Structure 1
């Protein structure tokens, strides 16, 4: 268990966004959980029990919120370097790292994401990785769509997912 963590909330176009962080080994913050809610109790259950903090304290402001605001303002790549800490089995941990490589503005289908993970037949496992992602936005599971091109699911609601996809498509760098 993580002994303590801090959280803070910022307004974003699709709604309030809360981030839970813990101190990292270099003194910076590691994101444990994040999502479109102003209620931290909605985030804590998705943190792996080995990382779940025993104490969570509200912070007036966290540096990572500057990154969230930059993303909302159109700096799509701002989220890419934010350190995240999640724990699970090897496939899920690898899949979460792979999610960070799905380019903004170029979403994958669950089938494409499974292939990107090196397990093309593991479409359900790939979808499960998206569903179990605790660090929404920073591990951009919203960039994975149903095989039919539909939105599929999203813990924070399909209107938030649609906004993110449209926003990133509008501001993403043009692929070379």
Structure 2
């Protein structure tokens, strides 16, 4: 490790906690107001691991996210499924992971895709397993809607926030129709 890397300041991020119908949402933003992570309160250790994996050491302090971010989270959970459209999201990750995460944001609310469809959408139709791994490493749940990915047979598959929460998110986006 170089001297410069050892003395480089850690990325400073703010952790906010916002109520939602499916539990407290943890929102991590940077100094510019970009969302760096979103997860649920019962998965805070996972959120912290993903932040470290993507950015290395971070200084994570409790505070308030910028009001537009708070308003978007509240509005989305309140039924405005376009509320996240204007939010800036910044992630670490590999080029491949970021391609998967961009493709996730292209899935319209209320729709789902299989891992195979997602792999095809990024031009890597044989990378189904790698797409699944990238999906699982997504640090910005809900905004980067990894919950919209289902199994090849149409069943709900693993979701870092839990399958019941995934079911709720998909039903919320589908106007209350349960899957």
- TM norm. shorter chain > 0.5: yes
Which 5+ residue runs of structure 1 have no aligned equivalent?
Answer: 172-176
Aligned residue-pair number: 167
Match of 1:59 in 2: 63
Residue 24 of structure 2 is aligned with which of 13, 16, 24? Answer: 16
Larger strand share, 1 or 2: 1
Q: Give the alignment's TM-score, normalised by structure 2.
A: 0.85
Unaligned ranges ≥5, structure 2:
1-8
The equivalences for 1:30-45 within 5 A come to 30-37=34-41, 40-45=44-49
Q: 1:49 to 1:2 in 2, by over 3 A?
A: farther
> 1:99·1:140 contact (CA, 8 Å) conserved in 2?
yes
How far apart are residue 142 of structure 1 and its match? 0.5
Correspondence 1:93-172 to 2 at 5 A: 93-170=98-175
TM-score under structure 1 length normalisation: 0.87
CA distance in 2, matches of 1:4, 1:21: 9
Deviation at 1:118, TM superposition (A): 1.2
Structure (1/2) with the larger helix percentage? 2
1:71-107 C-alpha deviation (Å, 9 max, x unpaired)? 1111001112211111222111111111110111111
SS at match of 1:23: coil
In our comparison, the structure showing a higher alpha carbon Rg is 2
Deviation at 1:49, TM superposition (A): 3.9
Shift of 1:40: 4.3
CA RMSD for the aligned pairs?
Answer: 1.9
